[in-house]
Amino acid sequence: MIENDRGNNAPFSVETVLTHQGRVPDDQFGFVNTPVYRGSTVLFKTLDDLEAQRQRFLYGRAGNPTTESVEAVITELEGAYRTRLVPSGLAAVTVALLGCLKAGDDVLLTDSAYEPTRAFADGFLQQMGVTARYYDPRIGAGLADLMRPNTRAVLAESPGSLTFEVQDIPALAKVAHAGGARLIVDNSWASPLYHQPLKLGADIVVHAATKMFVGHSDAFAGTISTTEESWRGVESARRLLGFFTSGDEAFLVARGLRTLAIRMKEHQARALDIASWLEQQPEVTSVLHPALPSHPDHALFKRDFTGSGSLFAFVLAPAPRASVAAFVDKLQLFSMGYSWGGYESLCLPVVLGKNRTVRPWSAPGNLFRVHIGLEGVDDLKADLGAAMERYARAR
């Protein structure tokens, strides 16, 4: 933790943590940033040193100064015991789950989980003898009814991918702990700037660093932050699986983090402006953004979050596929593609289908997910406005 030198224990602001934590210019000949370390072998000088493992880094796979520069920032922002950088957001989810589960155990996942998270649970976990079941994202304390004696992990994602339900993390944590299970939270949407699940009772927090941390759509990484009690299991799973993140990727995450606070602020403002504007448009039947007062979980959002992300969804009045194509095919500024978190806006038509098993999606109309980038907000509105006219005309 970086501490102020005025001796009054006042914590630094998140902006200061983001700009100063995780870099030690004195260790880098005075250069501001920790450079890209590439290395497998770390050299020991004597047999004494080797036997005593007397080296700050023992072998490249366990990390290097560049990966540490990222981990230190996220640890402080999440209020965690420690953090590990892993090769992707999905690896953060899978390693966190494997760190809590063994054959014969049971895991409960939110029905709104990121789709590859579901695929890992339904495929890999089931294959290794873990039962994976799903719960309604709005279940809260009602989760107690689903707990089994062998339930060892509960996975939450708040707000949920694609449908943006906000989850009651303190209530889920209480139920999980009462049953001897750990609560894992995917916190990618809000970033630790606006939501800190460990402080609400969660045990493990994961991030798709690929998204907001990197911020430029040009690198893959994930982070896993835990309490002290959950650290050993997670770190052991990562080490045994051999997951290591290269210094090149870590450098891009560290670079992104330095400007995360101002980027989040700008993404948040644009996304909220566009979400409110969309609510007024005749083709729009609903906007799924937790920071809007119309959102069913708005009260929970206001209780637990201090800000909102770039990503939300909206539903357009029923129309055939030709209308959906007319909407997305000729967008000028929004592009169509997976992922999110970069400086550029994205728009993705979504079909939920088998991604929901507890609460099948039944709202009539077509669902679109948008990531609001850093373009001029009026230009983005004009792009969406023209798309909605094409959508209506093609009906």
Ligand X SMILES: *Cc1c(COP(=O)(O)O)cnc(C)c1O
- The catalytic residues are 61, 114, 186, 211
179 or 341: whose CB is closer to ligand X? 341
Shortest Cβ 379–ligand X spacing (Å): 25
In sign, the C-alpha dihedral spanning 327, 370, 280, 289 is positive
| 185: contact with ligand X by CB under 6 A | no
| 312: contact with ligand X by CB under 6 A | no
Contact map string, positions 138 to 177, toward ligand X, x by CB under 6 A: -------------------x---x----------------
| 184: contact with ligand X by CB under 6 A | no
Shortest Cβ 146–ligand X spacing (Å): 22
| 111: contact with ligand X by CB under 6 A | no
Which residue of the chain is nearest ligand X when measured via CB? 89
How many CB atoms sit inside 10 A of residue 57's CB? 15
| 137: contact with ligand X by CB under 6 A | no
| 342: contact with ligand X by CB under 6 A | no
| 310: contact with ligand X by CB under 6 A | no
23 or 267: whose CB is closer to ligand X? 267
208 or 291: whose CB is closer to ligand X? 208
Tokens of 92: 């953060």
| 208: contact with ligand X by CB under 6 A | yes
| 214: contact with ligand X by CB under 6 A | no
Q: Which of 188, 191, 196, 230 binds ligand X (CB under 6 A)?
A: 188
- Matching residue, tokens 């077509």: 366
| 222: contact with ligand X by CB under 6 A | yes
Distance linking the first and last C-alpha atoms of the chain: 57
| 120: contact with ligand X by CB under 6 A | no
Segment interacting with ligand X (CB under 6 A) among 130-138, 205-213, 243-251, 349-357? 205-213
| 309: contact with ligand X by CB under 6 A | no
b/e 119-140 (16+ beta carbons within 10 angstroms → b): ebbeeebeeeebebebbbbbbb
Nearest to 128 by CA among 87, 100, 93, 88: 100
Bond prior to 159 in cis (omega within 30° of 0): yes
Segment interacting with ligand X (CB under 6 A) among 23-31, 208-216, 244-252, 288-296? 208-216
Q: Which of 213, 220, 327, 334 binds ligand X (CB under 6 A)?
A: 220
90 or 143: whose CB is closer to ligand X? 90
b/e 19-29 (16+ beta carbons within 10 angstroms → b): bebbbeeeeee
| 89: contact with ligand X by CB under 6 A | yes
Q: Is-contact 221 243, C-beta < 8 A? A: no
Segment interacting with ligand X (CB under 6 A) among 87-95, 164-172, 225-233, 313-321? 87-95
Tally of residues, the chain: 395
Shortest Cβ 207–ligand X spacing (Å): 8
| 210: contact with ligand X by CB under 6 A | yes
Q: Which of 75, 88, 151, 310 binds ligand X (CB under 6 A)?
A: 88
Tokens of 126: 């089931």
Q: Is-contact 186 176, C-beta < 8 A? A: no
Contact map string, positions 226 to 265, toward ligand X, x by CB under 6 A: ----------------------------------------
Which residues would be at the binding site for ligand X (CB under 6 A)?
A: 88-90, 93, 114, 157, 161, 186, 188, 208, 210-211, 220, 222, 339
